[in-house]
Structure 1
Amino acid sequence: MSAESDTQSTVGVETSIGWPVGGAVGGAVGALAFGALIWLFDPEVVSAAIPGIYGLDPVGVVGWGIHLVHGIGLGLIFGFLVTREPILGTLQMNPETESLSRTGITLRVVAAGFVFGLAIWAVLPVIVLPVWIEAIGTEAAADFPTAAVESMVGHLLFGTVLGIVFALVTNLHPERAETPLED
């Protein structure tokens, strides 16, 4: 291969460990924060309802494990999305309003996490979960708080913590860099 075809543009992402680790760690920490909030309101949601959406019995820490895996998966999706040129370019642009121009990329990534949490709440528990519960016909997940205020606040907390941790773990910068493609 020629040198020209051996490089790819990595728009604005420089990190020693990569966006997947930032997304996974941020998702895990965000899921723990969200799980703790749910546990304060209704521990049965974590211990019984979450395993119930998969038709599983509430045994031990199964609900916490599933919740943590959900958080890691969603964190990876966030990391992937926020490091792609259209979204990262938007986060890095120089807005014409003075108050927004004073914010840095870190605060903008945290805000993106907040919006991501809101989008997750609007799609997964509000739309997808009721259809899923109806399809599998399980009674264990019937008490799952799909559109409850606690669910929305928890997803916003998840997204905000995800954004904070992701911004701390990765180093987003406005420059473009050329990196060699790996075989």
Structure 2
Amino acid sequence: MSNQSNTAETKKRGTTNWILGGAIGGVVGSLTFGLVLWVVDPTIITETVPAVYGVEPMGTAGWIFHLLHGLILGLIFGFIISRKPVQGSLMTSTDMDALDGLGTGPRVTLAGFVYGLAVWALLPLALIPVRLAVGGFGEPGFPFFAFESLVGHALYGLFLGSIFAVVTETSVAETVDSPFDETETPSRREREREQNDS
């Protein structure tokens, strides 16, 4: 009975933590990305980001939009990465010894890095230029395919993944079976042994 309540409590904590981990990681990653853009050209934050929404540049509107982007994308990452099939895929054994030696935290961090690159490929390269052109806002003031944008999104993903791994109960992911394994995994055998003993 107490074992069942502990499992329920772990699941409850994990559900709350993916939201918290995604939100904190997303905002910190977005802030880091924003600082990169600020060093390159502050008008990217102050003018170009608000222009995506058709808002006149004023005050901190660009920073607010930028951090909001990071928050939303962080929550999406948290939702995706906390699904059992994705967790199982992250913990799947590979033919690469270096990757197999990594624990859950580094794998989640790498997943964040890949997510940051995917966001860079999808949003700045494809959707934002189309949105600016269709909305009649003219050419973007910043080349979204620029190296700075790639570096910023990669940093965003690294911070998002690493903070998510720290905040979230990632040890739960270690007990998830791989969706690709056809054989029994040690975690499954251990759970069956525990059930037979009780």
TM bracket, shorter-chain basis = 0.7 to 0.9
Any idea what SS the aligned residue of 2:72 has?
helix
1:104 & 1:165 partners in 2: Cα distance? Answer: 15
Shift of residue 76 of structure 1? Answer: 0.3
Shift of residue 18 of structure 1? Answer: 1.8
Taking structure 1 as reference, are residues 25 and 165 closer, same or farther at Cα in structure 2, changes over 3 Å only? Answer: same
Structure (1 or 2) with the greater strand fraction: 1
Write out per-residue CA displacement over residues 125-169 of structure 1, whole angstroms, 9 at most, x where no aligned residue: 000111101110114x62132111111110001001000110010
Equivalent in 151, 162, 183 of residue 149 of structure 2: 151
Kindly indicate whether the alpha-carbon contact (under 8 Å) linking 1:12 and 1:83 is maintained by their aligned counterparts in 2: no
Report the AA paired with residue 175 of structure 2.
E
Structure (1 or 2) with the greater helix fraction: 2
Instruction: Give the root-mean-square deviation of aligned CA atoms.
Output: 2.3
The answer for unaligned runs of 5 or more in structure 1 is: 1-8, 177-183
Equivalent in 156, 162, 173 of residue 160 of structure 2: 162
TM-score by length of 2: 0.79
Any idea what SS the aligned residue of 1:143 has?
coil
Shift of residue 175 of structure 1? Answer: 1.9
| Segments of 4+ moved more than 6 angstroms | none
- Within 5 A, what are the aligned runs for 1:24-173? 24-139=23-138, 142-173=140-171
Q: Which has the higher contact order (CA 8 A, sep 6+)?
A: 1
The answer for unaligned runs of 5 or more in structure 2 is: 1-7, 177-198
| Count of residues in correspondence between the two structures | 168
TM-score by length of 1: 0.85
Which has the greater radius of gyration? 2
Kindly indicate whether the alpha-carbon contact (under 8 Å) linking 2:17 and 2:169 is maintained by their aligned counterparts in 1: no
